[in-house]
Amino acid sequence: MNVEVMPSPATDTLLSAEPHIAQVGVIGAGQMGNGIAHVCALAGLPVTLLDAKKPALDSALATIAHNMDRQVNRGIVTAEDRDAALARITTNLDYAAFDDADLVIEAATEKEEIKRAIFKQLVPHLKPSCLLASNTSSISITRLAADTDRPEKFIGMHFMNPVPVMKLVEIIRGIATDEPTFQAVDALARKVGKITAVAEDFPAFIVNRILVPMINEAVYALYEGVGSVSAIDISLKLGANHPMGPLELADFIGLDTCLSIMQVLHDGLADSKYRPCPLLVKYVEAGWLGRKTGRGFYDYSQTPPRPTR
């Protein structure tokens, strides 16, 4: 016997309550922010990209155009799609530009105090229905959400770098995040061509909980003289079939970001196995942050880059 199950009024209400995301805001015009703007615009969404400095916005637009040109050359998108996507991106220096946004994604530097300050400035300019997401790679979503006026509409949306290429987005619910927010953000991630993985709100979530301690261990191996930079990287590339060695990857991510994530893990889990390597700390103190500063575990002033140890 076939029995037709009718949705209850409560189910109908929940489904109809799912927010519709038609306009997106992105805060931070760096690597992650311009990548998020890139994929959202290509998916047909108008995007407002905000940064504190106009040169950063100009650089972001140039990067997005360059990366879209590469996609056109590879046959991934058409020239018409590229032109339409670029036309959907506007830039601004004022949080008031987000007054009509349905979702604002924060993609600022991986420092909790900076993120908290951003949300404090942002929230007064948002409509009540606007959702908030942080692209944090390690910081508690619950804690960030508690500083806003809408913790139930706050969620983690961790894109991978480089955003236009990498397929994964980690979705992280805080303790107060409601189901409609989760469903809307999960659907948006899929709309922009990503595959989602749901992570619990523990320090560094899934990817960086596993990846960054591996990088930290590679730095310890260098620090203790187990192997040179070249030996460590070639060992993991050829011995474990990694596309990049761990020290090369650390330079790509940014040594300051790696250190911040290790500090979050160490502070949040109180386990000595997450202690940042002193050599990683020393490189960050020296300002040798990797590719973005031209020097990290490799010196990028020459081709091919030369190991610095």
pLDDT band at 226 (very low <50, low <70, confident <90, very high): very high
Mean pLDDT across the stretch 5-14?
A: 44
Catalytic residue among 134, 135, 158, 248: 158
Residue 158 bears catalytic tag:
yes
pLDDT at 164 over 70: yes
pLDDT at 9 over 50: no
Which structural domains are found in the chain, ordered by start? 12-199 (3.40.50.720), 208-307 (1.10.1040.10)
Instruction: Quick: pLDDT tens for 114-158.
Output: 999 999 999 999 999 999 999 999 999 999 999 999 999 999 999
Residue 137 bears catalytic tag:
yes
Give the model's pLDDT for residue 24. 98
pTM of the model: 0.86
Instruction: Quick: pLDDT tens for 50-89.
Output: 999 999 999 999 999 999 999 999 999 999 999 999 999 9
- Phi first, then psi, for residue 300 (nearest 5°) are -95, 15
Residue 170 bears catalytic tag:
yes
pLDDT at 172 over 50: yes
Catalytic residue among 34, 134, 135, 137: 137
Give the model's pLDDT for residue 19. 82
Give the model's pLDDT for residue 17. 59
Mean pLDDT across the stretch 27-56?
A: 97
Task: List, edge to edge, every strand of the sheet that includes 47-50.
Answer: 89-92, 47-50, 24-27, 103-106, 131-134, 154-159, 168-173, 195-199
Catalytic residue among 208, 216, 248, 260: 208
Q: Which amino acid is at 215?
A: I
Residue 59 bears catalytic tag:
no
